[in-house]
Amino acid sequence: MPTEPPPYDLTLAREAFTNAAALHAEATRRGAGRLVPADLDRLRAADAAFCAAVAEGRVGDAIAADDAFHQVLLDAAGDPDLLVSNELLRPRLRRMDLWLFSRKTFAPGPSSHPEIIAALEAGDAERAAVLVQRSFTEAGEALAAVLARRGTGGGGGNAGGR
């Protein structure tokens, strides 16, 4: 298992996931009412691809499928500022995900996507937004916990993009 420190620190990791959580929750709120059946099909397909990639240990594919899932909601929001803000954060988040998953066993866990889809189908944009926000926040906290255990959570990391 590699022992080099991550290319970022604990504060930056938490901030990146907190910011992404807020952006994606807002996109979900704005886009929920604009979703059409084809969008829900895209969400389900992205979740199926995500679950298959996780089960097979294909980290890069799992991250891409998760990005595809959330992109449906970003696109539905129709807000170019949300899209640009997300694109600025995405490389940093991806680098953090790859760093984390290359250092631990990639064990399948429950996907939050089905519950998000169910809330969207029920017309509950706020519930869907809360679930989206929680999924990003929990990912950031999982990364922060690994950094804290490794003793690499101090302020000396490189702040380069993900």
- The two three-digit tokens of residue 75, written as one number: 């696109």
pLDDT tens for the 162 residues of the chain, in order: 455 555 566 777 788 899 999 999 999 999 999 999 999 999 999 999 999 998 888 888 988 999 999 999 999 999 999 999 999 998 888 888 787 766 655 555 678 999 999 999 999 999 999 999 999 998 888 777 777 776 654 443 332 322
pTM: predicted TM-score of the whole model, two decimal places? 0.84
* pLDDT tens profile 69-78: 999 999 999 9
Which amino acid belongs to residue 58?
R
Enumerate domains of the chain plus CATH numbers: 10-149 (1.20.120.530)
Residue 83 exposed, middle or buried by CB count within 10 Å (0-12, 13-18, 19+): middle
H or E element that contains 72: helix 59-77
